[in-house]
């Protein structure tokens, strides 16, 4: 279980998160939506301490995250992260990208590594790309490899930071399909996204953020048809107009 | 024009070439090692350490090489440390080259996108592994052309050591000139020797730059 308790974060004079609390249960798929600059990504990045909150606490499975490097490292193994810009290692092929973590951190044998890679590439549908380099892959393929790389650490939780925002429209579907499959397998996930249809179909709970606060959270079928807050309504309207 | 007279002293020339190559190889290795260590340490969050490193880099980059050579050889022996010309020259060129290489490596490391660090941290890598597997390999690729460019300059700068009496190519050339009284011919041959040493490296830089431009 992920517990976020009263966290604050500011960049310079801008308060990005103001007293945000949120619990995420095992097996839940939580989508975070909201206008840009509302603090969605920062909230997500506070969960694995890529951003360190100035005030407040984050607990993973009951363990408080401190600033101790070794403890953060230990906790991050359990929190797979997928970035908007993929962040694959450009000088390594797909195989090395996926196996760097398990090899260095878990010291797996070559046999275990081979099985792991085959298994993960099957999962993301890129078995034939085992020895391709990132610049030989499309954006959608790169993001699927980034998901495989995160899954290679066998995390209990997956964090997605706008995983499809950098993709051409025709490539979004293949990435969302992989995430959907993870949801079916029961993975606990927190997804910052602008894909409203995806959030509606896949999430168990949708969090709406604005101005550094959570303004509303609800089951998607209720939130998208009957939002309580005016700000949620106006945000959803702008999204619909854009499409 | 009489090259034959000059070439009669080929043994002297060869000993100069050999010393130039020997000194160049040694200081390229030592200054690269020093520069790498300093460049990597620059990423540390320790402000005192950073201030010390910055002081070293700025001091050495701001000082003329000739003055450093005077200080390292004559200055130290005046103070009673008679370290011999080879040691003095190697120490001075290492400190001098290390400062420039540290800057090349530092800016190389800084040009690696933040996302590479974050992705590495998110798979639980230790700092040392992040450097070894993710940051350094990418930095090397970026820094190689400026690094080799600097090596070229360093090889040519070894000629300055002639002034304090180090027997490298230019100094042996001067000796030959004094005997033969053929300055033009002598220095043409010396220049050709430098060309033979430097040209392959310089070719390599333009090859790397072309390859970089294609990517």
> What is the length of chain B?
215
With 0-12 CB in 10 A as exposed, 13-18 as middle and 19+ as buried, what is A238? exposed
- Whole-number Å distance between alpha carbons of B73 and B164: 8
What's the predicted TM-score (pTM) here?
0.87
Task: Round the average pLDDT of chain A to a whole number and report it.
Answer: 94
Whether the per-residue pLDDT at B214 is higher than 60: the answer is no
pLDDT band at A20, cuts 50/70/90?
A: very high
Nearest CA distance, B135 vs chain A (angstrom): 9
Surface of B (116-145) touching A: CB under 8 A: 116, 118-127, 129, 133-134, 137-138, 141
* The two structure tokens encoding residue B26: 């040694």
HEC letters along chain A: CEEEEEEEEEECCEEEEEEEEEEECCCCEEEEECCCCCCHHHHHHHHCCCCCCCEEEEEECCEECCCCHHHHHHHHCCEEEECCCCCCCCCCCHHHHHHHHHHHHHCCCHHHHHHHHHHHHHHHCCHHHCCCCHHHCCHHHHHHHHHHHHHCCCCCEEEEECCCCCCCHHHHHHHHHHHHHHHHCCCEEEEECCCHHHHHHHCCEEEEEECCEEEEEECHHHHHHCCCCHHHHHHHHHHHHHC
Tell me the chain B residues in contact with residue A73 when contact means C-beta distances shorter than 8 Å: 121, 124-126
Tell me the chain B residues in contact with residue A150 when contact means C-beta distances shorter than 8 Å: 122-123
Q: What is the mean pLDDT of residues B168-197?
A: 90
Q: What are the C-alpha distances in Å from B20 to residues A16, B24, B27, B152, B201?
A: 60, 6, 11, 12, 15
Best to test chain A binding among B118, B122, B138 (most A CBs inside 10 Å) = B122
Percent of chain A clearing pLDDT 90 (strictly above): 94
pLDDT band at A243, cuts 50/70/90?
A: low
Nearest CA distance, A135 vs chain B (angstrom): 10
Whether the per-residue pLDDT at B138 is higher than 70: the answer is yes
Whether the per-residue pLDDT at B127 is higher than 60: the answer is yes
- Whole-number Å distance between alpha carbons of B57 and B119: 31
pLDDT in tens, B60-109: 999 999 999 999 999 888 888 888 899 999 999 999 999 999 999 999 99
Q: Does the beta carbon of B115 lie under 8 angstroms from any beta carbon of chain A?
A: yes
pLDDT band at B160, cuts 50/70/90?
A: very high
Percent of chain A clearing pLDDT 70 (strictly above): 100
Percent of chain B clearing pLDDT 70 (strictly above): 98
Of A90, A101, A152, the CB nearest to B125: A101
Q: What is the mean pLDDT of residues A159-167?
A: 95
């Amino acid at each position: 279980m992920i517990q976020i308790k009263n966290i604050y974060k500011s960049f310079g004079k801008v308060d990005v998160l103001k007293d945000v609390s949120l619990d995420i249960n095992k097996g839940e798929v939580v989508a975070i939506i909201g206008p840009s600059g509302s603090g969605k990504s920062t909230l997500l990045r506070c969960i694995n301490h890529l951003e360190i909150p100035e005030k407040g606490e984050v607990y993973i499975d009951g363990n408080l995250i401190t600033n101790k490097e070794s403890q953060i490292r230990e906790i991050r193994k359990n929190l797979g992260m997928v970035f908007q810009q993929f962040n694959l290692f450009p000088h390594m092929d797909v195989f090395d990208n996926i196996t760097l973590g398990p090899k260095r951190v878990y010291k797996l044998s070559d046999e275990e590594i081979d099985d792991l890679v085959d298994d993960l590439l099957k999962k993301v549908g890129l078995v034939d790309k085992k020895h391709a380099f990132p610049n030989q892959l499309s954006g959608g393929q790169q993001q699927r490899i980034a998901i495989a790389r995160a899954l290679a650490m066998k995390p209990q939780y997956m964090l997605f930071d706008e995983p499809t925002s950098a993709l051409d429209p025709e490539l979004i579907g293949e990435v969302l399909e992989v995430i959907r499959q993870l949801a079916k397998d029961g993975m606990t996930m927190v997804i910052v996204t602008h894909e409203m249809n995806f959030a509606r179909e896949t999430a168990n709970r949708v969090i709406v953020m604005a101005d550094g606060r959570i303004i509303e959270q609800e089951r998607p079928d209720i939130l998208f048809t009957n939002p309580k807050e005016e700000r949620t309504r106006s945000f959803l309207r702008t999204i619909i107009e854009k499409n | 024009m009489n090259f034959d007279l000059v070439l009669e002293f080929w043994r002297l020339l060869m000993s100069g070439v050999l010393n130039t190559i020997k000194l160049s190889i040694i200081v390229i290795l030592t200054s690269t090692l020093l520069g790498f260590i300093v460049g990597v340490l620059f990423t540390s969050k320790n402000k005192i350490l950073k201030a010390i490193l910055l002081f070293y880099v700025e001091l050495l980059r701001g000082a003329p090489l000739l003055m450093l050579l005077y200080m390292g050889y004559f200055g130290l022996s005046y103070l009673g440390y008679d370290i011999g010309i080879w040691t003095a020259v190697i120490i001075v060129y290492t400190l001098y080259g290390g400062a420039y290489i540290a800057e090349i490596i530092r800016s190389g490391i800084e040009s690696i996108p933040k996302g590479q660090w974050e992705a590495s941290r998110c798979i639980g890598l230790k700092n040392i592994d992040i450097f070894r597997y993710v940051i350094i390999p990418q930095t090397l690729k970026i820094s190689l052309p400026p690094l080799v460019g600097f090596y070229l300059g360093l090889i040519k700068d070894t000629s300055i050591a002639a002034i304090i009496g180090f027997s490298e190519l230019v100094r042996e050339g001067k000796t030959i000139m004094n005997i033969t009284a053929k300055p033009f011919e002598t220095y043409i041959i010396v220049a050709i020797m430098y060309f033979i040493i430097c040209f392959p490296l310089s070719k390599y830089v333009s090859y790397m730059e072309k390859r970089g431009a294609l990517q």
